[in-house]
Amino acid sequence: MIVLLLLPAAVPAADDSSSAPADPVLAAAREAVGRQEYAKAAAVLRAAVDKGAANAEHHNLYAYALRNGPKPDMDLVFTHYQEALRLEPKHRGAHEYIGEAYLMVDNPAKAKEHLARLDRLCFFGCAEYTDLKKAIAAYEAKRPR
């Protein structure tokens, strides 16, 4: 009977995350990315990362916007994906996107390292693993042997 009385206190309230304010930087950047306005998204995110925000998703989305924009600075792209992974080593999106970036610079071996990491993170599979695996297969299909 005592256990039953204590049970409600151990169950968390309804999802509190919905009451948390949305990150306005991410909201603006995602909206711009959705419209394929990568320069705008990068500008919004650059302001946030320049302020020293220790937010893995800011770095991840910034790198994504940079690499999808015109004439991407791949050194800067890798810097921000690596920072996202330093801040959050299990960030599945950053692993997928850095793997895709490695394919852009003709480094499939590094892409496969991130695929292997996703394989360990996504024990029962996940979209990030599947997407990177498909990207690697498409890359390899286009390369002469």
Q: What is the CATH number of the domain that holds 77?
A: 1.25.40.10
Average pLDDT over the chain reads 87
In a domain? residue 5: no
Q: Is 55 domain-assigned?
A: yes
- What separation in angstroms does the CA of 38 have from each of 18, 54, 71, 74, 144? 28, 22, 11, 15, 32
Backbone angles phi, psi at 90, to 5 degrees: -100, 15
Q: How far is 7 from 34, CA to CA, in rounded Å? A: 44
For the segment 22-36, the average pLDDT, to the nearest whole number, is 95
Q: Is the pLDDT of residue 16 over 50?
A: no
The closest of 139, 82, 67 to 108, measured between CA atoms, is 139
| Lowest pLDDT segment from 11-25, 47-61, 90-104 | 11-25
**Would you give the distance in Å from CA 55 to the centre of its chain?**
11
Closest among 52, 85, 55, 79 to 67, alpha carbons compared: 79
What share of the chain in percent tops pLDDT 70? 85
Smallest CA-to-CA distance from 77 within 54, 51, 100 is with: 100
Distance CA 119, CA 136 (A): 14
Whether 13 is in a domain gets the answer: no
50 occurs within a structural domain? yes
Structure confidence at residue 22 (pLDDT): 84
Domain count, the chain: 1
27 within domain boundaries: yes
pLDDT above 90 covers a percentage of the chain that reads: 78
**Would residue 16 count as lying in a domain?**
no
The whole domain housing 37 covers: 23-142
By CB atoms closer than 10 A (0-12, 13-18, 19+), residue 66 is buried
Is 12 a domain residue? no
Question: Could you tell me if residue 4 is inside a domain?
Answer: no
